[in-house]
Amino acid sequence: MSVDHEFTIASEARTVPAVFGSKKLVEDPSWEWEFASHLKQTYSPSELLALFSRYRNEESPFESQMRRVLVRAMCRTAGHSLETGPGIVLKHADTMELGDAVFIGSQTMIQGRYDGTCRIGSHVWIGPHAYFDARNLVIEDYVGWGPGAKVLGSSHTGDPIDVPIIATELTIKPVVIGYGADIGTNATILPGVHVGANAIVGAGAVVTTDVPEYAVVAGIPAKVIRYRQ
C-alpha cells in the first residue's frame, strides 16, 4: 500500500518574531555560581579543561548545564543564561570575559592567548562552526555572528624574507565588533578591523578595513554598498 504525502511550500517570504534577540534574561540559580566558584578555586585550568571535555559533546539538559558551570569556572568571568552547543573549544579560557545571555553554537572554536584579551558582550549570538582568533578581541552587546564566520587577530610578519613565513614573528592587532552589528555566514574579519555599531557584513565577505556605523558591506575585499540609515 502506498501513501501519498502532500507538502505545502510557502511561495512568499514571511516575517516572524526574533527569538534570541528578544529573549528575557533568566538568572541562573545561586548553586551554579557557588559550584563554579568552588571549581575555579579547587582545580587548575588544565584540570578544568579535562572536566569540561567530559560534557563537551552531549546535548541533554544535564550536559548543557554542566558546560555552563564549567565554562563559568574556566573563564575570567561569565554572566547569566550562558548557552553552549556541543563540541565547542576554548583555548586560554582564563583570558575570556562573557556577558549575560551569550549563545555559542556547536563546534565553535575561540582561540585566546595566555596574555590576551577576549571580551564578548551580553546578548551575543554566535552560530555554529565559527572561529575566533581572540588574542585581542572585543565583541560588544547584541552582536549576531553567522555560522562559519571567522575573525583573525594576528598575522606573520614574513620578515626576514629567507625564513619560512610560519616561523616569523606574529603581529597581533585588536579587532572590535560594535554594538548591534551583524556578521554574515562565512564572513572573515581580518586583523586590526573595527566593525562599527549596527553595521552589516554580508555573507562570505572578507573585511580588510574598518566598517562605518550602520554601513552594509559585501564582497572580497568588502566594500560599502549602502547605509542602513
Please give the helix or strand (H or E) that residue 95 lies within, else none: none
How many whole angstroms from its chain centre is CA 149?
A: 9
Place of cell 585550568: 45
- Rounded Cα gap, residues 108 and 149, in angstroms: 10
Among the listed residues 5, 123, 129, 156, the single catalytic one is: 156
Assess whether 194 carries a catalytic annotation: no
- Rounded Cα gap, residues 148 and 126, in angstroms: 9
- Rounded Cα gap, residues 219 and 214, in angstroms: 17
Residues marked as catalytic: 156
